[in-house]
A and B are shown apart, each in its own frame.
Chain A
Amino acid sequence: MNLRLSLAILAGKLAAMASRTYGNKGSSLPGMVARRIYPGTLQDLAAQVGRGILVVSGTNGKTTTTNMIATVLREAGYKLSSNMEGANLITGVTTSFIRDAGIRGKISCDYAVLEVDEASLPRVLKEVKPGVLILTNFSRDQLDRYEELDRITGIIREALVQQKQMTLILNADDPLVAQFQRSTSFPTVFYGMDPNEQTPRTSFQTREGKLCPFCGNILTYEFFHNSQPGRYHCPGCGFSRPDPQVEAFDPVIEGGRARCRLVFNGQEAELAVPVQGLYNLYNAMAAFTTGLQLGLDAQGMLDSLNRYRPVAGRMEVLNYKGKPVYLNLVKNPAGFNEGLATLQADRGSKDVFIALNDNVADGRDVSWLWDVDFEMLGKDHRLYNRFICSGLRGEEMAVRLKYAGIPVEKVTIDDNITQAIKNTLSGGAGAAYLFSSYTALWTVQKAIKSITVEGGAAR
């Protein structure tokens, strides 16, 4: 028994208890405390995972993909350790292992499924050796903190080539993700969506992956999915979209569900998830492909995904007096655009609430709002009853909506989040959509929980 490890785990568990007593979620403090006592905490605990470690990273879809993978593995009978709450820095990853470890420093699980912040990936990979790495997509996110996208993908590439062995599960439709097969030569399984499929999509200038990651030429695209780059080709070096081994066809989003025809290993099946948004099909494909790689039964996984329950704040559906209320966390342009596409797909009348904070975890720079295509709402403003803007930068949000062509009389600013949510829910529309940046989400959730009944049905 390693005494320092035991001491670190004990201190971590005490910190978790203390933190919860004060009403916090306690998702990173225990890891921080334990690492200070014994820096090898994560490394020692991670080394005990039985069958292997699965790491999920990328800009958007990490939390949902991690939870979907955890769902299929759990329902297939495996014992897991996972940071499902989305605390994805090295301290959060350490915390999740401490929670599942005994104070003698032993942990017993078949798999660890870890969501890891893309900028933290190099650090985490120094201590944790995953058998499988899943990368979802890369797009600009909080430039004041992460800096430019080129830099992030660059440090990930450097970290990956130092790894001895792993399997990559990559989104074929994003060149910034697909590049990692060629730049690492690790065995790779690709998933993607049929690029001939015409799905509703937004057009905006801020799509990423304009330049070839290898030679810097401008990539040519056949067309774009909803904020997902489609089939691409580099006229300079020939880098192009790989053929995916798991591919989705005929995607349909309706009635609060997303489904498609899934083709894999010469088989065909229906993939359906009880969550809105085309992007959730990508998340589900990432989970399904990971499961296939681990030898799980395909039909069993599809059944599990069909019963999947969304994570808090990821197009979570709640109920207020029979009216559906959707809650969505928004952190960056690509994610917000997906949220707006879902909002627009609902052709009924809507009340909309947006809470925007500019704390460090939200990104102190709110200029990313101008990369979000609110113009699509402006064209359609008759479907919207009201927009209520709140949070530390609610005024900025209101300016954005005004310039997107939404009539100012439909826009109000209310810096009291709870009151603003009450007003949104009691609005006259048939549904309410709530969007919140990261640090406002906690307050938003508390406010909603106090006035709604959980588990409402979507229209």
Chain B
Amino acid sequence: MIRVCHLYPDLLNLYGDRGNIIAFQQRCKWRDLPVQVDSINLGEKVDFQKFDFVFLGGGSDREQALVSADLIKHRDEMAAAIEDGLVVLAICGGYQLLGSYFLSRNGETIPGLGILDFYTKAGEKRLVGNVAVEVDLNGKPFKVVGFENHSGLTFLGDNRPLGKVLAGNGNNGRDGLEGVRYKNVFGTYLHGPLLPKNTRLTDHLIGLCLERHGIKKELKPLDDSFENRACEVMLRRMGLAGR
């Protein structure tokens, strides 16, 4: 049984984020892999050790402040589970939250969970638009597409990015990097949502969850023609050749 934890679905759901959960769940079901999703809301207890996959979406500033105050109480358990191979996908505001701090426009430092030592600072203008990123998971690079809408600029320091920006802005619009990767943690600004049409990434996450159960085998292939077409339309529009 793959156990999924959807963190704060009531508060962090700004850009169709629940689509990521829907996609993860459906692609397990279509392969007859048992999967269970638990929603954890503000003030509720969460035992990260019993989950395989944790999803953290993005919210507006007010909602994110509430979430941050709550999640910080579980910070150590979450960090320990990550060291043990917990699979995490954090998007936009959730991604920023994994870092050390957020430097606001008036110079205020808002602490993050500090699970990873990158930081984010408020930018002058919002970075909004379609994005394509080249992601290399196991020496087999492929293109991931999505939409970004953020004003925070993230700087990774020595952390490993999720991928290289092919079109759009990514972490900060300057260094050509997008997202972050650490063990089984994936942070990114890409919504769209990310998982439904970027099926290779989704299947990679499912594979990592299975590995946690000691199962290491190729996933049953699915017919991804709609998903591939949806990606190709955007890649063509961004002037990038086929996948």
User: What residues make up the interface of A, taking CB atoms closer than 8 Å to B?
Assistant: 140, 143-144, 147-150, 205-206, 210-211, 216, 218, 364-371, 375, 392-393, 395-396, 398-400, 402-405, 408, 411, 413
Contacts and interface: CB of A to CB of B under 8 A. Distances in A.
Which 9 pairs between the two chains have the least Cβ-Cβ distance?
Answer: A370-B16, A370-B19, A367-B16, A395-B230, A148-B60, A395-B229, A367-B15, A365-B147, A398-B226
A395 B233 contact: yes
A45 to B, nearest CB: 35
Contacts of B121: none
Interface in B41-99: 42, 60-63, 66
28 contacts: A144-B129, A150-B60, A206-B13, A210-B10, A216-B62, A216-B66, A218-B42, A364-B128, A365-B128, A367-B19, A367-B147, A367-B191, A368-B15, A369-B19, A370-B17, A371-B16, A371-B18, A392-B233, A393-B230, A396-B197, A398-B230, A399-B196, A399-B197, A399-B226, A399-B230, A404-B22, A408-B226, A413-B229
Contacts of A205: 9-10, 13, 18
A364 B130 contact: yes
A206 B63 CA distance: 13
A131 to B, nearest CB: 33
A341 B197 CA distance: 26
Contacts of B13: 205-206, 371
Given A367-B19, A370-B17, 5 more contacts: A143-B149, A205-B18, A369-B19, A370-B18, A396-B197
A292 to B, nearest CB: 36
Chain A CB count within 10 A is highest, among B18, B42, B126, for B18
B227 interface: yes
B38 to A, nearest CB: 14
Interface string B6-25: 00011101111111001100
Given A206-B13, A370-B196, A403-B196, A149 B60 contact: yes
Given A369-B16, A408-B223, A403 B26 contact: yes
Contacts of A398: 226, 229-230
B11 A365 contact: no
Contacts of A149: 60
A423 B26 CA distance: 29
B23 A393 contact: no
A211, A218, A369, A396 pick with most chain B CB within 10 angstroms: A396
A314 B28 CA distance: 38
Nearest to A148: B60
B192 A367 contact: yes
Nearest to A204: B18
Contacts of B128: 144, 364-365
Nearest to B151: A147
A403 B23 contact: yes
A370 B60 contact: no
B112 interface: no
B226 A210 contact: no
B210 to A, nearest CB: 21
A150 B23 CA distance: 29
A364 B147 contact: yes
Nearest to A393: B233
A381 B232 CA distance: 28
Contacts of B62: 150, 211, 216
Interface residues of B, number: 37
B193 interface: yes
Contact of A367 (B10, B23, B193): B193
A365 B223 contact: no
Given A150-B62, A395-B230, A403-B22, A365 B10 contact: no
A411 B18 contact: no
Contacts of B63: 210-211
A141 to B, nearest CB: 13
A420 B63 CA distance: 42
A400 B196 contact: yes
Contacts of A365: 15, 128, 147, 149, 191-192
Nearest to B17: A370
A73 B230 CA distance: 48
A365 B149 CA distance: 9
A397 B142 CA distance: 23
A186 B233 CA distance: 50
A216 to B, nearest CB: 6
Nearest to A150: B60
Contacts of A370: 16-19, 22, 193, 196
Nearest to B146: A367
A251 B75 CA distance: 48
A145 B35 CA distance: 36
Contacts of B19: 367, 369-370, 400, 403
Contacts of A393: 230, 233
Nearest to B149: A144
Nearest to A211: B62
A114 to B, nearest CB: 29
Contacts of B26: 403, 405
Nearest to B147: A365
Which of B16, B147, B197, B223 counts the most A-chain CB atoms under 10 A from its CB? Answer: B16
Contacts of B22: 370, 375, 403-404
B154 to A, nearest CB: 19
Contacts of B17: 370
Contacts of A366: 147, 192
A342 B148 CA distance: 32
Contacts of B196: 370, 399-400, 403
Contacts of B226: 395, 398-399, 402, 408, 411, 413
Most chain B CB inside 10 Å of its own CB: which residue of A140, A150, A366, A370: A370
A260 to B, nearest CB: 30
B70 to A, nearest CB: 11
Nearest to A372: B16
A356 B112 CA distance: 38
A375 to B, nearest CB: 8
Interface string B225-241: 01101101100000000
